[in-house]
Amino acid sequence: MKHLKNNDNAAYAILKNMRTSPSKANIVLEMIRGKKASEAINILKFSQRAIAKDISKVLHSAISNAENNHQLDIDILKVSEAYCGKGMVMKRWRPRAKGRAGRINKFFTNVTIKVAEEQKERKLEE
């Protein structure tokens, strides 16, 4: 996992080459996108999906980066971005009829989670 610096009130964590397809990872990431960090941890903890455990590790890393590297308050952190992209593809072959070979693709995913402090909007009183 890797840490990137973007602005003052946000922190990243990136996991490269997670052994699942991007479509499966995106289903889990949709569940936590825009949620508070503590709520997202609970959602991942009780998720039935197998990759929720790996995504939980990335989220914990992003929260730790925010706390230790940017001195952000972890109580008001929110998952501002959670997305995944294509990683490498392992190509495997399976024997098929008449001496042919059938290709099997095993997809990998790059997961990025960005946490930021929740901005409280100030109401203008007239």
Summarised one tens digit per residue, pLDDT across range 9-39 is: 889 999 999 999 999 999 999 999 999 999 9
Q: How many CB atoms lie within 10 A of CB 43?
A: 17
Q: Is residue 124 part of a domain?
A: no
- Whether the full predicted model's pTM is greater than 0.85, yes or no, is no
Helix/strand/coil percent split, the chain, to 5: 35, 35, 30
Which uninterrupted H or E stretch holds 69? helix 52-69
Instruction: Specify the DSSP class assigned to residue 97.
Output: G
Whether 63 is in a domain gets the answer yes
Answer whether residue 1 is part of any domain. Answer: no
| 87-119 pLDDT, tens digit each | 999 999 999 999 999 999 999 999 999 999 887
What is the total count of domains within the chain?
A: 1
Contact 60, 52 (CB under 8 A): no
Read off the CATH number of the domain in which 22 is found: 3.90.470.10
Instruction: For 20-68, give the DSSP string.
Output: S-HHHHHHHHHHHTTSBHHHHHHHHHT---TTHHHHHHHHHHHHHHHHH
Range of the domain at 88: 10-117
Q: What is the pLDDT of residues 38-72, one digit of tens each?
A: 999 999 999 999 999 999 999 999 999 999 988 88
For residue 9, what are the contacts with CB-CB under 8 A and spacing of at least 6? Answer: 70, 72, 116, 117
- Residue 123 belongs to some domain of the structure: no
Q: Is 74 inside a domain boundary?
A: yes
Task: Report the pLDDT value the prediction gives residue 71, as an integer from 0 to 100.
Answer: 87
Q: Is residue 13 within 8 Å of 61, Cβ to Cβ? A: yes
Q: What residues contact residue 69 under an 8 Å CB cut-off, 6+ apart?
A: 3, 5, 11
pLDDT at 96: 96
C-alpha torsion angle, residues 44, 50, 54, 55 (rounded to 10): -40
